[in-house]
Structure 1
Amino acid sequence: MQRTSDINVLETRELPAPKSLIDELPKSESQAAFVTRAREDIHRVIFTEDKRLLLIIGPCSIHDLEAGRDYARRLAALAHEVSDRIMIVMRVYFEKPRTTVGWKGLIMDPHLDGSNDIATGLRTARTFLREVLDLGLPTATELLDPITPQYIADLICWSAVGARTTESQTHRQMASGLSMPLGFKNGTDGTLGAAVNAIRAAAQPQTFLGVSIEGKASSVVTRGNPNCHIVLRGGTAGPNYSAADIANAEQVLTKADLLPSILVDCSHANSAKKPELQPEVMKDIVGQIAAGSTSIIGTMVESNLEAGNQTFPQPKSDLRYGVSITDGCIDWATTEKLVRDTHAALAVRFQS
């Protein structure tokens, strides 16, 4: 009989069922309690009168576990220092969307050699997330593949759907069943319509094809996720974090019967893809807050131990420690100054 399926498939590698991996690398009671508290705190910052600024900050992606641990330890200490005005959540990004091709992140290629050992990548991700939580740091990630949450979502405090996938029905359905607050980024063109529609869709009950925790193909029925909000990241037309842009986003969200809770990504098009400009974006945002803006609930910053990024692929032995292999980042010294300056500037928000 003529073959009509899997013509372009070279190999199918079986992965452990999500339950098997979770049982192998379980969260502790203290980790579960911390994730629950962090999600509740993030919800209050987004939707209630909690005046703290939600700051999602960390490496563009995790590729070196030791450098990631080093960064997390430093960030945990800094987060404790500023916790009265800023709620810091560490970016722990394991999946990277690519415009064409390239390294897809630690889950897909944990050995950085093209072997695509996804089973090891999933184990590595769970292990690292548990380590970050044990430092008292909430975790944030972008969920790209709709199967990934079954393996790691119980260890995530905040998640994002990126500009490329905000229009995706699959990701809106996935978001409707997630247990943590989630930000939908505006589209790559900078318009807000897709993100607004995504928030509304994710809040509704959905039924879709998925994988159960036992690893079986399933029909997944959700109740809807009411904890979604918009993330402004700029677009092809330029930045969208000015006071006028914020006012426009408020109007668009209100017209859609959504609470105008806005998180601004200081990277990507908002900094013209120049990481060194992120502190200037942050300064502008904090200035708007000091002037009375109440709709800005948070910001996102790409930060690492060292500034910039480095080309990849290249031999792992040649990689510089603490330097991103995806998007460029600000260095640790700049990060400390940015966070402390922001903390000082936010004092006015807490005077009333």
Structure 2
Amino acid sequence: MSSRVTDLHIARNLPLPAPTALLAEIPRSESQADFVAASRQTIGSILFGSDPRLLVIVGPCSIHDTVAGYEYAQRLAALAERLKDQLFLVMRVYFEKPRTTVGWKGLIMDPALDGSDNIPEGLRRARTFLRQVIDLGLPTATELLDPITPQYIADLICWSAIGARTTESQTHRQMASGLSMPVGFKNGTSGDLVAAINAVKASGRPQTFLGVSEDGVASAVTTTGNPDCHVILRGGENGPNYDAASVAIARASLDAAKLPPAIMIDASHANCGKDDAEMPSVFQEIVRQRAAGDTSIIGAMLESNLVAGNQAFPQPLERLVRGQSITDKCIDWETTERLLTEAAQHLESTLRR
């Protein structure tokens, strides 16, 4: 009898529904498709200068409670309409969370928040929530972590991020080259920007890689390249990089790489030391630089929720504070509304020049 050499550490291997089956079960309407396409086009125009508004990716660090998330979306949609002449607001709808060691990996992976890891149900809840947000007239943004996930939700996403831990990943660069929406690459966790710039260049070119077809079959995927990629400054182990000197270095690096000077700055993560109390001043400095004439700053990111801070998890679900993050700390709604309103007022005069 030969030795066993496969699946030695696999406890279970459950097939997922084919992407076509899930898309048929929870379909997008024509109006939703039109809205997504128009939002992607607007974001592309902001990235490359023909639309002078500031792009702001704002919302919860992660979605764990879709009821509270929908309340947040309703508030943000109303604010987006009010500030639409100066800001283009896109809601963070993050369903996948990278973990440094272990922990809750997001709504898609564990929708019940109990370790049951019902991924098919997570995918269903993600698609359902994305449709609800889009129906409010609010564009959607997410971080795509697993390369299979886009087949199930990408048609409802207007902008995507590739995180600091995966910007150097060939798999994610290849995936980004085939995505249909603009994609931002964050600088690495060290703070180094070279990996993000290389990712933008690689993702703009045709790629062939292993993937999954809409029918759920392993396939060889060939892309044409994604022209709507850009870098995101999020700080790193050596400190923040949202200051004017760091932005100038990033701009010069993009110029040297013969890439458009499109820079988004994340006011959270290492740029604020993961301290929600510091996030407002970081965002205000980003807006100040843009208002002072630095048009290479095309966007900003804010982690925001109904309630400030975060809460310990895991804990009994009935003890969770509604509208408070279970991942990174966020600013509260009142602070968010004030910051965005002030930003619009600050930028209004520059848009009239």
Shorter-chain TM-score bucket reads: over 0.9
Instruction: Provide the C-alpha distance between the structure 1 equivalents of 2:51 and 2:66, rounded to a whole number of angstroms.
Output: 33
SS for the counterpart of 2:155 is helix
Partner of 1:8: 9
Deviation, 1:351, is 2.0
Instruction: Provide the C-alpha distance between the structure 1 equivalents of 2:50 and 2:149, rounded to a whole number of angstroms.
Output: 33
Deviations 1:11-65 (A, max 9, x none): 0111100000001000000000000000000000001221100000000000001
Partner of 1:279: 280
Deviation, 1:291, is 1.4
Instruction: Provide the C-alpha distance between the structure 1 equivalents of 2:136 and 2:269, rounded to a whole number of angstroms.
Output: 28
SS for the counterpart of 1:87 is strand
Write out aligned runs for 1:1-352 (5 A): 1-352=2-353
Report the residue type matching 1:264 in the other structure. Answer: I
Deviations 1:290-314 (A, max 9, x none): 2111100000000000000000000
SS for the counterpart of 1:115 is coil
Report the residue type matching 2:9 in the other structure. Answer: N
Deviation, 1:148, is 0.1
**Bigger mean CA offset, 19-28 vs 269-278:** 269-278
Report the residue type matching 2:182 in the other structure. Answer: P
Deviation, 1:348, is 2.5
Deviation, 1:221, is 0.4
Q: Indicate conservation of the 8 Å contact 1:60/1:91, yes or no.
A: yes
Instruction: Provide the C-alpha distance between the structure 2 equivalents of 1:314 and 1:68, rounded to a whole number of angstroms.
Output: 19
Q: Indicate conservation of the 8 Å contact 1:109/1:115, yes or no.
A: yes
Gaps of 5+ in 2: none
Instruction: Provide the C-alpha distance between the structure 2 equivalents of 1:320 and 1:137, rounded to a whole number of angstroms.
Output: 25
Instruction: Provide the C-alpha distance between the structure 2 equivalents of 1:192 and 1:13, rounded to a whole number of angstroms.
Output: 39
Deviation, 1:2, is 1.2
Instruction: Provide the C-alpha distance between the structure 2 equivalents of 1:99 and 1:9, rounded to a whole number of angstroms.
Output: 22
Q: Indicate conservation of the 8 Å contact 1:51/1:349, yes or no.
A: no
Q: Indicate conservation of the 8 Å contact 1:52/1:87, yes or no.
A: yes
Instruction: Provide the C-alpha distance between the structure 1 equivalents of 2:316 and 2:116, rounded to a whole number of angstroms.
Output: 14
Q: Indicate conservation of the 8 Å contact 1:166/1:187, yes or no.
A: yes
Instruction: Provide the C-alpha distance between the structure 2 equivalents of 1:290 and 1:342, rounded to a whole number of angstroms.
Output: 9
SS for the counterpart of 2:221 is strand
Deviation, 1:287, is 1.0
Deviation, 1:271, is 0.4
SS for the counterpart of 1:292 is coil
Deviations 1:222-279 (A, max 9, x none): 0000100000000001000111011000000000000010000000010011012111
Instruction: Provide the C-alpha distance between the structure 1 equivalents of 2:306 and 2:322, rounded to a whole number of angstroms.
Output: 8
TM-score, normalisation: structure 2: 0.99
Q: How many residues align?
A: 352
Report the residue type matching 1:80 in the other structure. Answer: E
Deviation, 1:285, is 1.0
Instruction: Provide the C-alpha distance between the structure 2 equivalents of 1:231 and 1:181, rounded to a whole number of angstroms.
Output: 12
Deviation, 1:149, is 0.1
SS for the counterpart of 2:277 is helix
Report the residue type matching 2:252 in the other structure. Answer: Q
Report the residue type matching 1:129 in the other structure. Answer: L
Report the residue type matching 1:176 in the other structure. Answer: S
Instruction: Provide the C-alpha distance between the structure 1 equivalents of 2:5 and 2:321, rounded to a whole number of angstroms.
Output: 47
- After TM superposition, the runs of 4+ consecutive aligned structure 1 residues lying more than 6 A away are none
SS for the counterpart of 1:276 is coil
TM-score, normalisation: structure 1: 0.99
Q: Indicate conservation of the 8 Å contact 1:303/1:330, yes or no.
A: yes
Report the residue type matching 1:31 in the other structure. Answer: Q
Report the residue type matching 1:90 in the other structure. Answer: M
Q: Indicate conservation of the 8 Å contact 1:190/1:235, yes or no.
A: yes
Report the residue type matching 2:36 in the other structure. Answer: V
Instruction: Provide the C-alpha distance between the structure 2 equivalents of 1:191 and 1:349, rounded to a whole number of angstroms.
Output: 31
What is the CA RMSD across the aligned residues, in angstroms? 0.5
Q: Indicate conservation of the 8 Å contact 1:208/1:221, yes or no.
A: yes
Deviations 1:173-193 (A, max 9, x none): 000000000000000000100
